[in-house]
Every structure is written in structure tokens, then in C-alpha cells.
Amino acid sequence: MLSLELVDYCHIDKIQEFMNAINQSGEVFCGTGMLMNFQDDLTKYIQVEKKIHLGISEDSSLVPGTTLVCLENDEVVGFVNIRHCLNEFLLAKGGHIGYSVHPMHRKKGYGTWMLNKAIDYCKQKDIYPILVTCDKDNIGSRRVIEANKGKLETEGVTLRYWIGKENERL
């Protein structure tokens, strides 16, 4: 059974395995919060994520946010990163929600499921409407967003989708 948990110290070993898989695949980290910046120190990574979650990050360029790990059979099969508000960069490019599925667990519906749960989380926190973006050539991500009723606003290299009331902006 799939579950989502706030990223925490107890997940470190499982995160290491996820990270190794991403590095072996040669992909860039995406939707995993600050993981890319703290690959050598996962304790620090968790510390940083906890501060961002509480809105007390030392880095003023980071908005408050929540990183959740998706677990199945005691394995981290995905990450979802929710930004609680948009700054200039997020409004133009990053959006509210990023996600990543373990390379060995793709095309099983996990990406669609995680975005759906992240949308529920946003609604509970009054983060609405929700901006979700992806690169034009990221077919998997496009389908994940469209399966979650994302409405395409802008065509281009970055596709911008809104989930929520039409024409409403934050």
C-alpha cells in the first residue's frame, strides 16, 4: 500500500537508495526538495527540509514548503515537494508542486497518485488554485498533470497548468 510521510530522519537509508537510483540513471534531481544540494549529508538535508516546512529557512529565496516521501513496502518509491506560495521564479517556472518517481517504479500510476494527494494537501492548506509546470517534452509529467485535471495556460518550453478555479490567480 502506498503512503506519504513528511520526510524525516528515519527515511535516510531509503532516501540513499532512491538517490543512488537517480544518480545511476543520469537524471537531474527534480521534485525532491533540497536533496540535490545535500547528497553528501542527508542528516543536514532533513534538517533543512524541516526548517523549510516551518517557514524558518535561513535562505530567504526559499518559500515555505513540504517534502513528502512516498513509501511502498518500506521503500521510498517517490518524492513530492509542495511549495506553499509562489515567488517570481515559481510563478514563472517552478509552480507549487514537484514530484519524482523512482526509476524502477515508473508507469505504475505512482506519479498520478502523488500529485492527487499533493492537491488534497494544498486544498487543506488553502493553497489554491495550484500551478503545476513541466517541460514540453516531459510526456510522463504532462500526463500526470492532465490526469489531475490541470488546465494548460501557456504553451512554450515550460508548460504551465492550473488546477482549480479558472482565471483565478494567487
Footprint of ligand COA on this chain (CB under 6 A)?
30-31, 98-101, 106-112, 134, 138-141, 143-144, 147
User: What is the rounded distance in angstroms from the CA atom of residue 78 to the CA atom of residue 13?
Assistant: 14
Distance in Å, CB of 148 to ligand COA, minimum: 10
Distance in Å, CB of 100 to ligand COA, minimum: 4
| Closest by Cα among 63, 70, 33, 62 to 49 | 33
Distance in Å, CB of 86 to ligand COA, minimum: 15
CB-nearer residue toward ligand COA: 28 or 54: 28
Cell of 34: 533540497
Distance in Å, CB of 140 to ligand COA, minimum: 3
CB-nearer residue toward ligand COA: 1 or 54: 1
**How many H-runs (helices) and E-runs (strands) does the chain carry?**
5, 7
Distance in Å, CB of 70 to ligand COA, minimum: 10
Q: What are phi and psi of 158, to 5 degrees?
A: -105, 125
CB-nearer residue toward ligand COA: 11 or 108: 108
CB-nearer residue toward ligand COA: 11 or 146: 146
User: What is the rounded distance in angstroms from the CA atom of residue 121 to the CA atom of residue 36?
Assistant: 24
CB-nearer residue toward ligand COA: 31 or 150: 31
- Please, which contacts does 22-30 make with residues 24 or more away whose CB atoms are closer than 8 Å? 22/100, 22/103, 24/103, 25/103, 27/103, 29/100, 30/98, 30/100
User: What is the rounded distance in angstroms from the CA atom of residue 90 to the CA atom of residue 77?
Assistant: 25
